[in-house]
Amino acid sequence: MESRITPGPYRATKLWNEIIELFRAGMPLKKHRLHFRTHDRCFTATQGIDWLHELLRSNQNFGPEVTRYQTVQLLKKFLKNHVIEDVKGRWGKEDFEDNNRLYRFPASSPLKPYPKKSRLLNSNLPNWSEYDTSRPGPVLVRPIILNSELWNKRHSIAIGEVSECRIVHRKEVSQGTVEEIWKSMTLAHLQKILGLTSLEGVLDPKQLNPKYIIYNVQHVNKQGVVILENKLEELPHWVLSAMRCLANWPNGSELNRPMYPGFERDVFKTIADYFQKPKEPLLTFEFYELFINTLGLLHQQPVGIETLQVCCLLLPPENRRRLQLLMRMMARIALNVEMPSLHDAIASRTLMIQTFSRCILHSEDEVDLDELLATRLVSFMMDHYQDVLGVPDHLQSAVEEHLAHLRRVQIKYAGADADATLVSCSFCHQMSSEDFTEPQRNPQTALTTQLEEIVMDKSMSFKEKKKKLKQFQKAYPEIYKNRFPTIESEAMFCPEKSKLKTQLMFFTMKKSFQPFRRTRSVRM
């Protein structure tokens, strides 16, 4: 029974180990006779292919798009890595074929070890989960808990230390600030939707270019396809013409284009050769681990689509545009019943996936499951290409709301520095609506705490304390009334000045009288 491989670092290695364990545990082993000898607990190559192919097709991490050919290639890798061996104990050669040759499992099948984790603590990395972009609508902010000095600066109007304030119109938000907000909130959204406490081992934030994100959001046509300003990065005209021809077949063929039997196959081969030529895939090497982690969410269609939306937003605009055009062509060919067969033995949909999977996704160091993982991802993206390659609305609206908040006016107290502003971006983190209603985050709770500090401050003189309490009562009458509902409760902490003087005089007389009696007794 398969176990769900949750998103996280080294997911490809975990999937490799899982398939090995499932294959070893479930593959039926029988007695077989070969060259007048009986071999126990073994299987033929064909039996192994049949069983493993069915396992991969039913596994949610790979899906029904896995072909028999891909299963044979995986078993070749199993033989090379000593996951299996022939009945004579030989392994290491990629000569596995679909035949009756006998194979068995070795006594111990070493699983791949996981790379050692970085010694850098997660606490040293930014905590992107402070931002919550999963909900549409306004962005709520959580004030960071301030020390007493900074609190007094920001709320000094309540205790009478600053007598006036002024409205300050904020300057235009700099491009650097806009880019940092896009980067922070995008990383936060990814971390949240993947369900990870940290993106370490999945995505290096240094590899993320916020300029790409902004460009991919803002520079699109009516169909949502990226528009490139630099025409040198555009696909060659002959490639675009060929893709348009097949995507709109038979209406996309131009009248002056030579037509002959097999013409559409030659056009398709021309497109395939162009996209297969680059060494780096469209999803780039640095984002390989990130896209592999999205595979664990594809069984939840809405979540998978949203995750891929954000991931594809990180791509260089040139790559994103090529991916959009390629996916649109692949999907239309797969669904076009009028398209002549592009292969004698393979259906159009399967042909699209097999032909372009590697130029869309593969790792730099050729991970063993690259072909199967790419097949699963490309299959899902082709079925939902319009949604997957669109701009995530939640993220875009959240960022725009946050930027609009930064451009609003602010209240600034006279004589206070920039840190004392009433609303400052540097003191805020985004939070959810539920968190905003927590008691400890309620502004009234903070003001109540400030009132209690004034009341309990023993170092403060009576005159100063009475003055601040009076000012606080005037500024926040409801909070003051809740703390001192009656005159008696107020008198316990605010005694009258006359009573205080009387107590002080009595105490002084008592102290002076006692030494006088002692002096008199000495004389007697």
Two structure tokens written together for 485:
């509902």
> For each successive 10 residues of the chain (524 residues), what is the average pLDDT?
70 91 94 88 96 93 90 93 92 88 89 64 47 43 46 51 54 86 93 91 92 96 93 94 92 61 93 96 96 91 94 97 97 93 93 96 89 94 94 90 79 51 40 48 66 77 84 83 74 54 51 47 44
Please state, in angstroms and rounded to a whole number, the distance separating the CA atoms of residues 208 and 198. 15
Contact of 347 with 336, CB cutoff 8 Å: no
158: how many CB neighbours lie within 10 A of its CB?
Answer: 20
DSSP summary character for residue 226: B
pLDDT confidence of residue 390 = 92
How far, CA to CA in Å, does 126 sit from each of 296, 337, 389? 24, 51, 28
Rg of the Cα atoms in the chain: 36
pLDDT confidence of residue 143 = 41
Counting Cβ atoms within 10 Å, is residue 176 exposed (0-12), middle (13-18) or buried (19+)? Answer: exposed
pLDDT confidence of residue 303 = 93
* Closest-CA residue to 472 (of 461, 483, 462): 483
| Enclosing H/E stretch for 491 | helix 487-493
Please state, in angstroms and rounded to a whole number, the distance separating the CA atoms of residues 331 and 469. 72
pLDDT confidence of residue 123 = 41
pLDDT confidence of residue 234 = 95
pLDDT confidence of residue 518 = 46
pLDDT confidence of residue 321 = 97
pTM, two decimals, is 0.68
